[in-house]
Structure 1
Amino acid sequence: MGRKVVVAVCTLNQWALDFEGNLNRILQSIQEAKEMGALYRTGPELEVCGYSCEDHFHEPDTFLHSWQVLAELLKSATCKDILIDVGMPVQHRNVSYNCRVAFLNKKILLIRPKMILCEDGNYRETRWFSCWTKERQVEDYYLPRMITSITNQTVVPIGDAVISTRDTCIGFEICEELWNPQSRHIPLSLDGVEIISNGSGSYMELRKAYVTVDLVKSATFKSGGAYLFSNLRGCDGQRIYFNGCSCVAVNGEIVSRGLQFALHDVEVITATIDLEDIRSYRTQISSRSHLAAANAPFPRITVDFALSDDEDIYLTISPPVECKYLTPEEEIELGPACWLWDYLRRSGQGGFFLPLSGGVDSTSTACIVYSMCTQICDAVQKGESQVLYDVRKILCQSDYMPSDPMELCNRLLVTCYMASENSSQETKQRASQLANEIGSYHFPIVIDSAVSAVIGIFTTATGLVPKFRSKGGCPRQNLALQNIQARLRMVLSYLFAQLMLWVRGRPGGLLVLGSSNVDEALRGYMTKYDCSSADVNPIGGISKTDLKSFLHYAKSRFFLPSLSEILQAPPTAELEPLSDGQITQTDEQDMGMTYAELSEFGRLRKTFHCGPFSMFQKLVHVWSNKCTPQEVAEKVKHFFRCYAINRHKMTVLTPSYHAETYSPDDNRFDHRPFLYRVHWNWQFKTIDDAVAQMTKDKRIKLSDSTTVQEVSGSNTNIAAHFNMRRDRKGVLI
């Protein structure tokens, strides 16, 4: 018959510049695709070298080693009799391009450069690559001699073309081209391309997983055809975690979809497609046919190869599948845990050290590590040999077999309660109870002698003794005494992280985990170089609101009854003296704003690009049921003063798992100055003038009764109050 084809879409956990490991994972994916009956295999963006090579793309070595990997693929018997395309960087006429390279049986068919590059969020592609701007044109690409010796080809086509087999036609999009308003799949479909392949590098953000599915379904709903979306998964050396979720869509329906989070490095999904279904679907849309008749053709690379055969009568067409999305709580459970696993196994360290305070933030971090241990045990039980190899390597025990998450957590996670005279018995007990429930190797220490020693050095040098505010000290003294405790905890964390495995009779050291959430970073409510300074921070891109929701979920998911008391306790740094054994300091009182308000400030500042006056204009309506215009003005001005004063802290912020659209991470996601004029004179005067005008007019348009706490909830965002829109990646904001 020759009408049914089996295609394979691959999800790979690649690592920037790990050419050997990347090659092996690509070969494994090709082998699995062939075993599943596929005659066409596609993979993620820049899978040969890894997506996050960044300025290594300026090095000729990166291009050389990518060609060397391609040479190994061309020579491999695994790649025989299957049409393959891989993602790699290519230089043509001294210009660097992000490309797909298609090949079959030791012949390169086409090099297809990316035509639309991504520059938003964490993407900086135009720093390293240029767009291919010659639509529907190809040029001669002169192959390196190492490739010519294998293929006997001197030149191959490079450009905007499609591959025509004996039975169908294959075209390409690369990542951003799907999200762009002028997506290439439209003219490709109109030119009769029936299979469109997209190698992508799309990273995870909370509540984003639906976006790709919507876009892929839409691409084939309007124009018909099969769309193959292949994405990276994992941490390849950066703060981001690639999202997985590779899928295949046919005529507006998802017929196959991969996992979002997983520990295994290679996942291959296939779909069986009836080409006649595509042709029938398209001919029924008259308006599409009229456009197609006038569409300019693409150059076609003809290949004497078929994706179908006469025995396809025995193949069953892949039916539509229902796409189920993880809740934000499940995304927090799985995403940062997988990110930590990638970081741990590739760092050469032996586990994690976590200062466990008994509060929401450090508790969330501990639960994420426990989730990682749970996933490791599940993966080993399912026969994932690479996971078993990696955990044995980390523990330096060749016969180790993980089976119980608590036992594994005891080997991988050391927790420590660092008490001072200002710490309460309640937080100490909560930390100890949680550690017992997850199995971490836990111990308490008292840091008062170290604090006294540091104060003693200051007193010897100056003759002055600083005091807390409650004992007659000024605000400067009070803050300095708090910071001493916080910074000493960082010093002690690194001491214990370096030596605890020595104490336990194991080689190596531990990675120090930070546990400062995205709202605290935005406000700067942390001590510079305190426990927020660590090696990595799995919750640094997650809001306090979402972390609380996650702990409610984790309480039943992992049966951790101690989380009930932790959730009920008010957030506190416990750095000021107790009163009759009770805390006198809370985070929200110290900050002068609630965590819910902080989330709104963050979204308006970053996602909606609001300065002080724009933020006031929006919040004066959203908060009209709870605040006067004057009160809103003071809240906004207080936020921006604190933001300006503390912005410098973002330059040393611990590398954090990226999860939230309003992350203030200075190094990648949020490019703003770190030295501001604190008083914002012009901006604040504009706000004051507006408040004066509102007071004079005595009128303001009231919003609905929704409160700020409801707006900032885990399943809602501020877009409900303003015009809903989508960013360039399609994420609802």
Structure 2
Amino acid sequence: MRQTLTIATASINTTPLDLDGNLALIRAAVADAVQQQADVLLLPELALTGYGCEDMFFSADWVSGVPAYLSQLAETLPPSMMVAVGFPLLITGGQVFNAVALLSQYQVHGVVCKQHLARNGIHYEPRWFTPWPAGEVMTLELAGQHVPVGDIVFEVEGIRLGFEICEDSWVASRPGRSLYERQVDVIMNPSASHFALGKQKVRRQFVCEGSRAYGAVYVYTNLLGCEAGRAVYDGDAMIASNGELVMSSDRLSFAPWRVQSATVDIGLNRSQRMISSQRLQPAEQRGIVIVPFDWQEEDYHRALSPQTTFADEDPHAAACRAIALGLWDWQRKTYTSGYALSLSGGADSALCGTLVWFAQVQAVLTLGEEAYAQTLAQGRINVALRGDKPLLAWIHDDVMPNVLTTVYQGSAHSGNVTRNAAAGLADEMGALHYDWSIAELVAGYLKLVNDLTPDDPMTWERDDLALQNIQARVRSPGIWLIANRQNKLLMATSNLSEASVGYCTMDGDTSGVLSPIGGVSKSRVLQINRYIMEQGIPLQDSPDLPRLALAAMEAIVNQAPTAELRPVEQTDEADLMPYPVMDAIRRINQTQNVTPKGVLQVLLRGEYAQMYSKEQLVAWIKRYFGLYCRNQWKRERIAASFHIEADSADPKTYRRFPILANQLKRELAEMEAFARQL
């Protein structure tokens, strides 16, 4: 029996429904794993089809064609390596299962099916898949072979391999316990776990604890990139042996695939099972599949992978990288010529534009100039290679004027502070920037309406909201026209905080194909902008340029957020409440699923109870829920956005709420009654 194994993980940037493209990426990853002399390669969950195929998983004609691609992959595998790949399994005449197949050259050795389906957060797996019952095994004809399917363990020359598939490892009754009882040596976890701030720490815990508690090598790999348009996958990959992390990947790479490996000692992990106080039953041999396969000859001179460090997450850097990777994937997967942006000189649009710039720099560094230029050409952007020109100068002079078009659309109430801030930021990035006034357009619409009621013209005292909204809406057609003419994607600039309460103008600042910061709270937007100014965003694959900063962000950071839609001085927080408080209310409500009374109880135990009176907190909670309940129709129409924080305002993938409801009147009254008793 082999004493050691070299195990590789592959994170790949799949595209839903693109079986041929995904297969090509998988084959490229296999080639890299061969170069690393891997014995086993683990690919992510549903890697063959893509995870986000949505209701195409209901298409029997389509799903039934997937096993043929397993055969195509197996035919091209090297003789000395096994590959585990995720795919949807349709049992003819029955239902669809989320599965992983273990392959070697020309062979499909068996299929393990997911037992616990993700149904929380942004995941709706029970809509498409059926959970596999623990302990059940059957035989199916698959890709022309009779294959064992179900809750099985593979034994390969005395080494046992088992699987937990993503959500399986997040539940209390995880299959790892059963795998331990069947004396599994290597537990592999193919995942499609969306990015969210703080989530990597949880993954690390169950990977290391799974290795320690089950006396096994634990292998984890995740999808990479913005696969289907909303969720971003971070390409996280980890291997733990004897309870210690021996491999941890860089996350959020702009590479189309990334393969990393570790050499681990099987015997060392078995020794932990020997001393475990959890009794192993010798008769516990159900679902063991003996695989006729010869490992490559052991290399006794190959060093074991040492314990590796695990750096704490930098939340601002991680959020920037996730959004930038999403922007890059939207740009290349839609074959468009970059982005158009109404650059207001405020915090939200500034961050959107900055992350387009960062995405271009990081893409060049990771892909190389030739591959990057080829990708741009697919979106009708042709740039000459930079030659001797410094990288950032080339991006500024040759790339950004073609990739990002910005327009400052001043109104009668705009000032030079925002105008100059927008111009300065666009200039430092190299964006193609325009400046025009919407004042005449607004005046034209007001004349049309006032001519209908000449004796009753509109006034700010009576028509405040309408007069604000017409300015925001008039900005939409012009920037849309530029986007259409230049084959660009129009970015909306709504953030998570304001989208949650509907503090936005439909068909105004919400206009766009994509809202890049729709998953980022306003508090964090402000913090990130300062971070970009003071520290810069860390870059990967860039020894000579470790961080990317923008000095022009100072003019953005030094402003109070304002919509500039009223003739008098206006700030967003005066219209709403302090952003940190509003974000706390939103986060408590959406992650803890409590009523207004529950939100107040949490706030009273925290820092804001020391800063504000009980009466003020009650008033702000009422304000939040009043806006939240009234504006669900707005959230239904907001452009697609990336999931970045723990919660989201997206009703299609995270938070569902009725469009018509009773405004939570009873629950708000209950909160007020509770507050009066204190």
Same fold per TM (> 0.5)?
A: yes
RMSD (Å), alpha carbons:
1.9
* Matched-pair contact (CA < 8 Å) for 1:12–1:232: yes
Aligned to 1:699: none
1:649 and 1:464 mapped to 2: Cα distance?
Answer: 33
What displacement does 1:401 show?
A: 5.2
1:318 alignment partner, SS class: coil
State which of 306, 326, 332 in structure 2 corresponds to 1:339.
Answer: 326
Aligned to 1:568: 558
The reply to whether residue 673 of structure 1 matches residue 658 of structure 2 is yes
Aligned to 2:543: none
Count of residue pairs brought into register by the alignment: 658
State which of 553, 558, 566 in structure 1 corresponds to 2:531.
Answer: 553
Residues 713-732 of structure 1 mapped to structure 2, 5 A cutoff: none
What displacement does 1:205 show?
A: 0.7
The reply to whether residue 368 of structure 1 matches residue 363 of structure 2 is no
Against the structure 1 CA distance between its residues 344 and 446, is the aligned structure 2 distance closer, same or farther, given a 3 Å change threshold?
same
1:625 alignment partner, SS class: helix
Aligned to 1:511: 489
* Matched-pair contact (CA < 8 Å) for 1:5–1:272: yes
2:345 and 2:21 mapped to 1: Cα distance?
Answer: 40
Length-normalised TM-score, structure 1: 0.87
What displacement does 1:386 show?
A: 4.5
What displacement does 1:537 show?
A: 1.2
Instruction: Report the residue type matching 2:402 in the other structure.
Output: R
Residues 9-28 of structure 1 mapped to structure 2, 5 A cutoff: 9-28=9-28
* Matched-pair contact (CA < 8 Å) for 2:450–2:458: no
* Matched-pair contact (CA < 8 Å) for 2:501–2:627: yes
Aligned to 1:296: 284
1:478 and 1:262 mapped to 2: Cα distance?
Answer: 47
Aligned to 1:717: none
Against the structure 1 CA distance between its residues 306 and 279, is the aligned structure 2 distance closer, same or farther, given a 3 Å change threshold?
farther
2:409 and 2:90 mapped to 1: Cα distance?
Answer: 54
Instruction: Report the residue type matching 2:118 in the other structure.
Output: C
What displacement does 1:238 show?
A: 2.9
Residues 480-559 of structure 1 mapped to structure 2, 5 A cutoff: 480-499=466-485, 501=486, 509-555=487-533, 556-557=535-536, 558-559=548-549
* Cα offsets for 1:234-277 (capped at 9, x unmatched): 11113110121111111111111222111111111111112221
1:278 and 1:52 mapped to 2: Cα distance?
Answer: 36
1:538 and 1:231 mapped to 2: Cα distance?
Answer: 22
2:234 and 2:635 mapped to 1: Cα distance?
Answer: 25
The reply to whether residue 183 of structure 1 matches residue 171 of structure 2 is no
2:153 and 2:672 mapped to 1: Cα distance?
Answer: 60
* Matched-pair contact (CA < 8 Å) for 1:4–1:315: no
The reply to whether residue 81 of structure 1 matches residue 80 of structure 2 is yes
What displacement does 1:156 show?
A: 1.4
Aligned to 1:305: 293
* Matched-pair contact (CA < 8 Å) for 2:71–2:106: no
Moved more, 394-403 or 198-207: 394-403
Against the structure 1 CA distance between its residues 398 and 426, is the aligned structure 2 distance closer, same or farther, given a 3 Å change threshold?
closer
Instruction: Report the residue type matching 1:572 in the other structure.
Output: T
Aligned to 1:461: 452
Against the structure 1 CA distance between its residues 435 and 173, is the aligned structure 2 distance closer, same or farther, given a 3 Å change threshold?
same
Aligned to 1:314: 301
What displacement does 1:428 show?
A: 0.2
What displacement does 1:466 show?
A: 4.2
What displacement does 1:533 show?
A: 2.1
Instruction: Report the residue type matching 1:299 in the other structure.
Output: G
Residues 6-155 of structure 1 mapped to structure 2, 5 A cutoff: 6-76=6-76, 78-92=77-91, 94-133=94-133, 135-143=134-142, 147-148=143-144, 153=145, 155=146
What displacement does 1:662 show?
A: 2.8
Moved more, 533-542 or 182-191: 182-191
* Matched-pair contact (CA < 8 Å) for 1:519–1:544: yes
* Matched-pair contact (CA < 8 Å) for 1:6–1:38: yes
- Percent identity of paired positions between Structure 1 and Structure 2: 28
What displacement does 1:356 show?
A: 0.6
What displacement does 1:185 show?
A: 1.5
The reply to whether residue 273 of structure 1 matches residue 299 of structure 2 is no
Instruction: Report the residue type matching 2:476 in the other structure.
Output: M
* Matched-pair contact (CA < 8 Å) for 1:112–1:159: yes
2:231 and 2:75 mapped to 1: Cα distance?
Answer: 34
Instruction: Report the residue type matching 1:596 in the other structure.
Output: P
1:432 and 1:396 mapped to 2: Cα distance?
Answer: 24
* Cα offsets for 1:572-608 (capped at 9, x unmatched): 0000115xxxxx11101112x1111110111111011
Aligned to 1:719: none
1:298 and 1:411 mapped to 2: Cα distance?
Answer: 61
2:158 and 2:474 mapped to 1: Cα distance?
Answer: 69
Moved more, 57-66 or 349-358: 57-66
Give structure 2 stretches of 5+ with no counterpart: 537-547
* Matched-pair contact (CA < 8 Å) for 2:491–2:513: yes
2:371 and 2:238 mapped to 1: Cα distance?
Answer: 24
Against the structure 1 CA distance between its residues 48 and 683, is the aligned structure 2 distance closer, same or farther, given a 3 Å change threshold?
same
2:149 alignment partner, SS class: strand
Aligned to 1:357: 344
* Cα offsets for 1:401-424 (capped at 9, x unmatched): 594332322221111100011100
What displacement does 1:464 show?
A: 5.3
What displacement does 1:294 show?
A: 6.0
Aligned to 1:389: 374
State which of 649, 654, 663 in structure 1 corresponds to 2:648.
Answer: 663
* Matched-pair contact (CA < 8 Å) for 2:502–2:634: yes
2:618 and 2:549 mapped to 1: Cα distance?
Answer: 44
